[in-house]
């Protein structure tokens, strides 16, 4: 069934209708299941998002209206939904939207691109030209050599892990760039700017980051998770299957779980 969009508007996070939606969502979530405490990777993902948003704010005029309200139509059904955009620049008849991810699986790039394509389609109801950029924090995406060693070892996974270079090569809409100045000039492509954990440490300091990942989680396989649909979180992809648009925002609000940014 084809999906279409309408009645789009951009609001701030104190918008009355948005706050009512969040309140209703919180009640539904609390009645549905317990909310798990955040992992260190979850916390680092939010910290990386904040660090990169502040980094962007030092270079671009970011809009405070980064909550996107829209009507999603599927057949005869329609529903009002919201997306929290990681960062947004508005300039006359154009918009520049950013998706920030911190992950150790290349699958996160595909998810981020899918999210941005949907967001771009909605924003085009308001702005004829919409530029899109992914800021990807690589927290351990395996290299080709690491994949080869893993697959030759005694505990090889059932699926060969994807590398970042291989994933980029397979995605015709992704354009990897070296710096921010090279972004925002093609409204059909999605620019990709990559960061390391050390880059984030350099921005805010190790003492301000949750970096003790292995002490707080079981060692997980490199194989990417099953894609359960769009999820809007900066956290590692192990959590991206929790299909809810407001998860990262709710976690930052103290509700420790959830998604559909």
Q: Tell me the mean pLDDT in the region 254-261.
A: 35
Distance CA 92, CA 213 (A): 43
> Helix (H, G, I), strand (E, B), or coil: what is residue 254?
helix
Report pLDDT for 156.
82
Burial of 227 (0-12, 13-18, 19+ CB in 10 A): middle
Residue 246 is predicted with a pLDDT of: 42
Sheet holding 190-196, edge to edge: 87-91, 94-103, 129-138, 190-196, 174-176
pLDDT at 235 over 80: no
Ramachandran angles phi, psi of 76, nearest 5°:
-90, 0
What tens digit of pLDDT does each residue of 145-193 get?
999 998 888 888 888 999 999 999 999 999 999 999 999 889 999 999 9
What confidence category does residue 250 fall into, taking pLDDT thresholds of 50, 70 and 90?
Answer: very low
Query: What pLDDT, on the 0 to 100 scale, is given for residue 216?
Result: 55
Instruction: Report CA-CA distances (Å) from 87 to 50, 65, 141, 158, 230.
Output: 10, 9, 24, 37, 18
Q: Would the pLDDT of 232 be above 50?
A: no
Read off the pTM: 0.82
Q: How confident is the model at residue 254, as a pLDDT?
A: 40
**pLDDT value at residue 35:** 63
- E strands within 104-164? 129-138
Report CA 237 to chain centroid distance, whole Å.
Answer: 10
Q: Per-residue confidence at 244, pLDDT binned at 50, 70, 90?
A: very low
**Out of 29-33, 69-73, 113-117, 118-122, which region has the weakest mean confidence (pLDDT)?**
29-33
Band (pLDDT 50/70/90 cuts) for residue 213 is: confident
Query: Does the pLDDT at position 203 exceed 60?
Result: yes
Lookup: tokens for 26 = 């919180």
């Amino acid at each position: 069934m084809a999906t279409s969009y309408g009645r789009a508007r951009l609001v701030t996070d104190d918008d009355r209708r948005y706050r009512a939606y969040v309140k209703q969502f919180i009640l539904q979530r609390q009645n549905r299941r317990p909310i798990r405490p955040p992992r260190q990777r979850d916390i680092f993902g939010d910290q990386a998002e904040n660090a990169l948003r502040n980094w962007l704010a030092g270079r671009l005029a970011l809009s405070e209206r980064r909550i996107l309200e829209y009507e999603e139509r599927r057949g005869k059904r329609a529903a009002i939904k919201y997306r929290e955009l990681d960062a947004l620049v508005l300039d006359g008849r154009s918009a520049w939207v950013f998706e920030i991810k911190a992950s150790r699986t290349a699958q996160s790039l595909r998810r981020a691109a899918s999210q941005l394509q949907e967001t771009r389609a909605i924003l085009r109801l308001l702005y004829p030209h919409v530029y899109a950029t992914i800021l990807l924090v690589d927290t351990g995406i395996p290299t080709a050599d690491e994949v080869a060693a893993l697959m030759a070892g005694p505990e090889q996974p059932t699926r060969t892990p994807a590398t970042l270079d291989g994933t980029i090569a397979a995605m015709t809409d992704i354009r990897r760039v070296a710096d921010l100045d090279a972004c925002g000039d093609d409204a059909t492509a999605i620019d990709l700017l990559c960061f390391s954990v050390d880059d984030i440490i350099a921005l805010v300091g190790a003492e301000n980051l949750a970096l003790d990942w292995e002490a707080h989680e079981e060692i997980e396989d490199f194989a990417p998770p099953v894609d359960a649909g769009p999820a809007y979180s900066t956290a590692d992809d192990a959590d991206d299957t929790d299909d809810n648009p407001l998860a990262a925002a709710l976690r930052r609000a103290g509700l420790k779980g959830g998604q559909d940014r």
